Chain A
Amino acid sequence: MDQTPILLALLITALPLCAFVIQVFFGRFLPRQGDWLPTSAVGAGLIMALYLFFTQVLGAPHGMEHPAFWKMTWLSVGETSPFVVNFEVMIDNLSIVMLVVVTLVSFLVHLFSTGYMKGEERYNRFFAYLALFTFSMLGLIITSSMLMLFIFWELVGLCSYLLIGFYFTKDSAAAACKKAFLTNRVGDTGFFLGLMMIAAVVGSFSFPDIFDSVRQGMWNPTLLTIAGVCIFLGAVSKSAQFPLHVWLPDAMEGPTPVSALIHAATMVAAGVYMIVRMFPFLAGWDAEAGQSAIMTGNYFESDTLFIIAMVGGFTAIFAATIAVAQYDIKKVLAYSTVSQLGYMVMGVGVGSPSAGMYHLFTHAMFKACLFLGSGSIILAMHHEQDMRKMGGLRKKLPITHITFLLATLALSGVPFFSGMISKEAVLTQAYAYWEYHKHLTGGLAFARFLPFLFCLVAAAFTAFYMFRLVIGIFYGKPRDQHAYEHAHESPMTMTIPLMVLAGVAVIGAGIAIPGGPGTDWFENRNAPEVVVGGMMSSEAMVPSTEVREAWETGAAWHDLHVEEVAETAPPAIKEFHHAYHLAHWPTFLLATLCGLLGIALAYWVFFFNRGKEYVRPGGFLDAWRVWLVNLYYVDDFFAAVPIAFTHWTARLCAAIDRVIVDSVVNGVGILGMAVAWVAGKVDYWAVDGTVRGTGELVLAGGDRVRRIQTGRIQDYVGLTVFGMTIVFVVVMIWTNWN
């Protein structure tokens, strides 16, 4: 078996780790504070990842046919039928794509940071943290064990904490990093609960074992839904879905490269990646067919997926509306990220993990470009982030302007940019999802329509607020003349990443579709027609123990291709497939229309009012605006209810501790003292008394006996005579006894 992918993947992951270790201890002493070290480590990783991508994924018609596995036993508990926990690595199409995304964005961010963070204090420490983050994210991607994923999940959360709180001397930054970590913790609790449920039912953490257990029907369907929702909770916090999205806008306190890397492209994508990987688990159990849903291809009955779709859809529109009222560039982009993550999550929820992944990929590119571009702007405006003070910068920052505009076009879903294609994939799936559920009556069908509706409206809003941002920054008259004069384009280290990312944002579409949706390697075989018999072809999506054994033994693999449409697929699925293909063009038109509508609206509102600091909408929009500016009061709600409750509980516990526990402790102390007092007395009187008494006895006795020695001879004579007499009598009696 060709172990190259595994080796390369491990090397790609290990290099940033080594860079981190060296950087954190010796970074200060290296020339240029060691910024080249993590950058080149990640750069080498990028080259290897691209090599893997071009040989394994693009080199073969369906990408990597068989996933590559590797494992190492970590611990084994128990003697008979032990509970085993392994370090497992699995490389397939999905992993390789993610490797490319992470290493590419990370490398570009490293490069950007050499320019952006120049002159900052603790510069070397920044790069160390970036390297640690890259290592954690890469480890998360290559693993095939949920436990290992959770370990790396927490590690990326830690790196996020360290990086958001990089300027920890600022109160707002310190509060923000704490908020990020704690909010993530809430979701992680759900994740951990789900993980424990899996460990209990399946007995193992590894993906093939988990998916096998679902296929074999080891799960009670209700428990499966609950476990799926718990696992999804982890994604809710990590990928900033409503209501745990509150940490992401505050995370903008971190340096801008951090926002680009972590909070746009990679860490927040980890949640989406995780639910894509766990898709067979979340797809659940198809009760009608009596099989796991991944086998029948009927993902649309799954309650877990419906919940995911609703949360994702709601988040998409929720955040998109808030972004309209924000003035800080980074906050606009942050809410935009939340909204787009909602898209990705919804994509998975309506049954197309490949569409969600595709959007993740394109979004990573253009969002990173947007964030880095905003970094360039912020630096040019001398750390000014409020767009009300900007304007007319397109003459001063030409490269930034062009790349920012390209990325915005991609994000807004303008045709032929990469963002359009991925958004359209998600929307088509959502539409087909609704079509399928039209069989159901009344209100339930409307609920299934909501994901599609939310995302469509969100698309319009997205275009609107993004162009509001672009027009406000780059067009019109400058609002702050002084800052405008001093603005200048950024150095090459900062503009090159912008150009690369914008380039990928534009042409990224072309790479991904050799033959249209359904045959691209992204489409990890979730399309129902390839579900035949008991196994999935190219188990990149659903690794199973059969696949792993085949990998290990090198058995031949019978590959099934899309063309072999299953005659055995249930009729509902065939209908879905039909609806999906029908939906392509309408959705394309609708999505484009929404995007263009948003752009036109933005143009009308802001371009004609360019130069004005603030545009009043008027009417009920003003009232709505108050809600938006206050972020729909979600933060306030959290502060008032859960956090206040936590504080109250803490005070209660402190009171209990003071009154009850401390009294017990004090009581024990007093008891100890009493016992000590008694012991002291006993010691003084009994023990010491014996000793003293003995002494005194001896003294007194000696005193008495001493008096024999009178010094007078006559007394001695008398004693001698007396003694002699006694001896004489005793001898006489003794010898004459008989």
Chain B
Amino acid sequence: MGGNTFMDIGLGHYLAVSAILFALGLVVVMTRRNAIGILMGLELLLNAAGINFVAFNRFSAPERMDGQIFVIFIVILAAAEAATALALVLNIYHQIHTANVDEAHLLKE
């Protein structure tokens, strides 16, 4: 591929994407009222971290596969964690009969 200029896709671009995704995920987690919505945002956060890993793997040590293995772990973790979280949400729903996290304020001082 010859003639890399600023239009060549480098590490920075991947990192930028990952940062944007992270920020979006954070916003979702922080602002959505629905518990399921927060979980979706959580997925975004995890995936953004995964992109970071892969990017560093590709650009810093391409002969190795550590980053990519790590991302597989992350995905597994995300799936397990989503199941657990949903179970929790279900239990809370039994208590407060709504999925609105604003209503789960029993620990409020």
Contacts and interface: CB of A to CB of B under 8 A. Distances in A.
Interface of A: 706-707, 709-714, 717-718, 721
B26 A721 contact: yes
Contacts of B31: 714
A712 B109 contact: no
A411 B4 CA distance: 165
B104 interface: yes
A711 B104 contact: yes
A717 B108 contact: no
Interface string B58-87: 000000000000000000000000000000
B109 A709 contact: yes
A714 B26 CA distance: 10
Contacts of A721: 26, 30
Contacts of B26: 721
Interface of B: 26, 29-31, 38, 101-102, 104-109
Nearest to B107: A711
A27 to B, nearest CB: 90
B22 to A, nearest CB: 10
Contacts of A717: 29-30
Nearest 5 interchain pairs by C-beta: A711-B108, A711-B105, A709-B109, A711-B107, A706-B109
B35 to A, nearest CB: 9
B106 A711 contact: yes
Nearest to A705: B109
A217 B107 CA distance: 113
A714 B29 contact: yes
A92 to B, nearest CB: 109
A714 B42 CA distance: 12
A315 B107 CA distance: 115
A712 B105 contact: yes
B66 to A, nearest CB: 23
A148 to B, nearest CB: 93
A322 B95 CA distance: 127
Contacts of A711: 104-109
Contacts of A718: 30
A710 B38 CA distance: 18
B38 to A, nearest CB: 7
Nearest to A707: B109
B30 A714 contact: yes
Given A706-B109, A707-B109, A712 B102 contact: yes
A710 to B, nearest CB: 6
A707 B107 CA distance: 12
25 contacts: A706-B109, A707-B109, A709-B107, A709-B108, A710-B108, A711-B104, A711-B106, A711-B108, A711-B109, A712-B101, A712-B102, A712-B105, A712-B108, A713-B38, A713-B101, A713-B104, A714-B29, A714-B30, A714-B31, A714-B38, A714-B101, A717-B29, A717-B30, A721-B26, A721-B30
Contacts of B108: 709-712
Nearest to A710: B108
A707 to B, nearest CB: 7
Residue among B104, B108, B109 facing the most chain A CB atoms (10 A cut-off): B109
Contacts of B106: 711
Contacts of A706: 109
Contacts of B107: 709, 711
Contacts of A710: 105, 108
Nearest to A709: B109
Contacts of B104: 711-713
A709 B108 CA distance: 5
Given A711-B108, A712-B102, A714-B101, 14 more contacts: A706-B109, A707-B109, A709-B107, A709-B108, A709-B109, A710-B108, A711-B104, A712-B104, A714-B29, A714-B30, A714-B31, A717-B29, A717-B30, A721-B30
A726 to B, nearest CB: 15
A718 B26 CA distance: 9
Nearest to A713: B101
A537 to B, nearest CB: 119
A713 B35 CA distance: 10
A706 B101 CA distance: 20
A713 B106 CA distance: 11
A714 B106 CA distance: 14
Contacts of A709: 107-109
A273 B60 CA distance: 137
- Residue among A709, A713, A718 with the highest chain B CB neighbour number at 10 A: A713
Nearest to A706: B109
Nearest to A718: B30
A712 B109 CA distance: 11
Contacts of B29: 714, 717
A718 to B, nearest CB: 5
Contacts of A713: 38, 101, 104
B3 to A, nearest CB: 34
A706 B38 CA distance: 25
A721 B31 CA distance: 14
A707 B108 CA distance: 8
A263 B79 CA distance: 132
A721 to B, nearest CB: 6
A718 B107 CA distance: 17
Contacts of A714: 29-31, 38, 101
Nearest to B31: A714
A544 to B, nearest CB: 108
Nearest to B33: A714
B42 to A, nearest CB: 10
Contacts of A707: 109
A718 B31 CA distance: 10
A479 B108 CA distance: 122
B16 to A, nearest CB: 18
A379 B82 CA distance: 133
A707 B38 CA distance: 23
Contacts of A712: 101-102, 104-105, 108
Nearest to A714: B30
B103 to A, nearest CB: 9
A323 B107 CA distance: 118
B101 to A, nearest CB: 6
A714 B39 CA distance: 12
A333 to B, nearest CB: 109
A707 B26 CA distance: 23
Nearest to B109: A709
A711 B101 CA distance: 10
Contacts of B101: 712-714
Nearest to B32: A714
Nearest to A721: B26
A707 B109 CA distance: 7
A274 to B, nearest CB: 101
B4 to A, nearest CB: 28
A709 B109 CA distance: 6
Nearest to A703: B109
A712 B102 CA distance: 6
A718 B108 CA distance: 16
